[in-house]
């Protein structure tokens, strides 16, 4: 492995993760859907915004900490929920939980994660849980009871996954959930002996085939099992009425993830959500979806100022994070960067990814002329383009 100190950016980690992981697994993490228009758009939108930095503002005492939903975080970014992490790195969910807690970052456990919530809460007491809920109130109620018993205080309901996405890249690489071993996958695994030993063998010998342990109230099926009702069954029936029902029943914090339309933002506010996450699932659901950063201003305008608007999708640089803060986002989540860190060097890799982003944000704050995040305001942004002639 290239020494960690030589990996300077998140894209360096992505390149290194590509070398380390079997193709099907790397592509599962990296990929989007269909023509990957949404995936590419998520990154491209950042280049449309440029900074108008201020100077000479004495930025010697800087802080990037932020308080959201009653919790103070050391940085304005955190780990988005990602499922099936066990195939990226041994005990990946626990490593993410530890790093998030140690670095005081927000962290959302995926409903498709592979380490039991009850263990993860012990590692990261302030973690949130993301649910892939079916339109079945008994099942939603049961998982809510389990979360309550485990001490989870915040539920995030993903709303952009009512049906499975068309991930053609996964099909081309023989990657399916339920996971099936094919000769192509075995061949690809054999070409990555380190992954075979450090991830596959270590996982199989310690805990066996990874399971969807947090999807429902009981231990879910293994990632290779084809369940009778299909684990996505009933998600296409979930509605705002179900969320209203859950709101009345759940006394903790409740968020929705995957809001892209201002009217859904209004509905989220009217349904009593504590916050919402602008997201297109990292370009992994509806292809051609608007980039979250482009959707952000309309969403922010549609909800009361007191309702925190959070965002994810394509964030890879400190400058990306600060652009979203300037447009009104309170927290930024990332999905792939920490998985690339985990794939490259486990705990140390995740920590290095966090360190890179944190260092970039600190430097960029200074270069923008800001001491803290409250000073990162929309007037520091401009749209890229040629100067208008009437300005001359
Ligand atoms: C490998 C992978 C697995 C994911 N699994 C989930 C999941 O279980 N639940 C969910 O709500 N979003 C899931 N997402 C979407 C992320 O939460 C997040 O919206 C997205 O990754 C943000 O984009 P980014 O990867 O460009 O940062 C997943 C994303 C990736 C890359």
What value does the mean pLDDT take over residues 104-127? 98
Average pLDDT, the chain: 96
Mean pLDDT of 291-317: 98
Is residue 259 in contact with ligand 1, taking CB distance under 6 Å? no
Whole-number Å distance, alpha carbon 53 to ligand 1 midpoint, is: 32
Mutational test site, ligand 1, from 83, 109, 158, 280, max ligand atoms within 8 Å of CB:
83
In 3D space, the residue among 225, 189, 214 whose CA is nearest the CA of residue 118 turns out to be 214
Residue 225 — pLDDT band, cuts 50, 70, 90?
confident
- Residue among 17, 115, 281 whose CB has most ligand 1 atoms within 8 A, to mutate: 281
pLDDT at 266 over 90: yes
CA of 280 to the centre of ligand 1 (A): 9
Give the DSSP letter string of 130-181: EE---S-HHHHHHHHHHHHHHT--EEEEE-S-SS----HHHHHTT--SS---
The CB-side HSE value for 195 (13 A sphere, CA atoms) comes to: 26
Which atom of ligand 1 is nearest to 160's Cα?
A: 11
- Point out the ligand 1 atom lying closest to the alpha carbon of residue 112: 8
Residue 335 CB–ligand 1 contact under 6 Å: yes
269 C-alpha to center of ligand 1: Å?
A: 23
DSSP H or E segment with residue 350: helix 336-368
Q: Which residue has the tokens 């066990």?
A: 86
Pocket-testing residue among 14, 77, 335, ligand 1, by greatest number of atoms within 8 A of Cβ: 335
- pLDDT of the residue at 389: 87
32 Cα to the center of ligand 1, angstroms? 10
Length of the chain: 392
Contact 256, 157 (CB under 8 A): yes
Q: What integer pLDDT is reported at residue 15 of this predicted model?
A: 98
346-349 own/partner pairs: CB under 8 Å, 24+ apart: 346/89, 346/90, 346/95, 347/95, 347/98, 347/99, 348/4, 349/4, 349/13
State mean pLDDT over 278-286: 98
Mean pLDDT of 314-340: 98
The full set of domains in the chain, from first to last, is 4-370 (3.20.20.70)
130 by Cβ neighbours in 10 Å (0-12 / 13-18 / 19+) ranks as buried
% of the chain at pLDDT higher than 70: 98
Whether 285 lines ligand 1, by a CB cut-off of 6 Å, is: no
Q: What is the pLDDT of residues 230-240, one digit of tens each?
A: 667 789 999 99
Specify the pLDDT at position 231.
Answer: 66
Whether 334 is in the pocket of ligand 1, judged by its Cβ within 6 Å, is yes
Residue 285 CA, ligand 1 centroid: distance in Å? 10
pLDDT given for residue 348 in this prediction: 98
Question: In b/e form, how buried is each residue of 156-168, taking b as 16+ CB within 10 angstroms?
Answer: bbbbbbbeebebe
The reported pLDDT for the residue numbered 226 is 78
312 neighbors 60 (Cβ within 8 angstroms): no
pLDDT at 2 (0 to 100): 63
Residue 228: the pLDDT is 57
Going from the Cα of 388 to the center of ligand 1, the distance in angstroms, rounded, reads 39
Cα distance between residue 128 and residue 108, in whole Å: 5
Find the helix or strand (DSSP H, E) in which 101 lies: helix 92-102
The closest residue, in CA terms, to atom 5 on ligand 1 is: 82
18 phi-psi bin (left φ>0, alpha ψ -120 to 50, beta other): alpha
pLDDT digits (tens, 9 = 90+) for 365-376: 999 999 999 999
Task: Tell me what percent of the residues of the chain surpass a pLDDT of 90.
Answer: 89
Q: Is 112 in the pocket of ligand 1 (CB under 6 A)?
A: yes
Tell me the CA–centroid distance for residue 312 and ligand 1, in Å. 9
Work out the average pLDDT over 138-150.
97
pLDDT at 251 > cutoff 80 = yes
pLDDT at 220: 86
Q: Where does the pLDDT of residue 181 fall: very low under 50, low under 70, confident under 90, or very high at 90 and above?
A: confident
The answer to whether residue 180 scores a pLDDT higher than 90 is: no
- The span from the CA of 102 to the CA of 124, in Å, is 8
Q: Is the pLDDT of residue 1 over 60?
A: no
pLDDT of residue 87: 96
pLDDT at residue 232, as a whole number? 74
Task: Report whether pLDDT(188) > 80.
Answer: yes
Select from 282, 310, 353, 357 the residue to mutate for testing ligand 1; criterion: most ligand atoms less than 8 Å from CB: 282
pLDDT score at 177? 83
Indicate which residues carry an active-site annotation.
Answer: 281
The verdict on the CB of residue 83 being under 6 Å from ligand 1 is: yes
CA distance 343 to 197: 13
Q: Tokens for 333, please give them.
A: 């989540």
């Amino acid at each position: 492995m290239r020494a960690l100190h030589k990996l300077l950016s998140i894209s360096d980690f992505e390149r290194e993760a590509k070398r380390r992981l079997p193709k099907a697994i790397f592509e599962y993490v990296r990929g989007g859907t269909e023509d990957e228009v949404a995936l590419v758009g998520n990154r491209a939108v950042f280049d449309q915004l440029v900074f108008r930095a201020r100077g000479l503002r004495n930025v010697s005492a800087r802080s990037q900490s932020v308080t959201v939903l009653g919790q103070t975080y050391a940085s304005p970014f955190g780990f988005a929920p990602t499922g099936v992490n066990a195939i990226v790195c041994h005990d990946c969910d626990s490593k993410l939980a530890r790093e998030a807690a140690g670095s005081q970052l927000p962290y959302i456990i995926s409903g498709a994660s592979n380490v039991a919530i009850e263990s993860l809460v012990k590692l990261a007491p302030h973690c949130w849980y993301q649910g892939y809920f079916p339109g079945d109130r008994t099942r939603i109620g049961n998982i809510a009871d389990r979360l309550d018993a485990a001490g989870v205080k915040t539920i995030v309901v993903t709303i952009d996954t009512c049906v499975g996405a068309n991930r053609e890249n996964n099909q081309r690489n023989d990657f399916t959930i339920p996971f099936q071993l094919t000769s192509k996958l075995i061949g690809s695994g054999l070409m990555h002996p380190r992954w075979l030993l450090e991830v596959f063998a270590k996982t199989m010998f310690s805990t066996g085939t990874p399971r969807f342990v947090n999807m429902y109230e009981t231990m879910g099926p293994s990632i290779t099992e084809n369940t009778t009702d299909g684990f996505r069954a009933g998600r296409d029936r979930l509605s705002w009425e179900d969320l209203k029902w859950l709101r009345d029943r759940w006394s903790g914090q409740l968020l929705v993830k995957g809001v892209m339309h201002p009217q859904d933002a209004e509905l989220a506010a009217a349904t009593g959500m504590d916050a919402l996450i602008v997201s297109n699932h990292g370009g992994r659901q509806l292809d051609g979806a608007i980039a979250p950063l482009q959707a952000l201003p309309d969403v922010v305008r549609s909800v009361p100022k007191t309702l925190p608007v959070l965002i994810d999708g394509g964030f890879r640089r400190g400058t990306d994070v600060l652009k979203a803060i300037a447009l009104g986002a309170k927290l930024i989540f990332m999905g792939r960067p920490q998985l690339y860190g985990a794939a490259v060097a486990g705990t140390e890799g995740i920590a290095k990814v966090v360190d890179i982003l944190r260092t970039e944000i600190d430097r960029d704050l200074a270069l923008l002329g800001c001491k803290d995040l409250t000073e990162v305001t929309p007037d520091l942004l401009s749209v890229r383009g040629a100067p208008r002639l009437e300005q001359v």
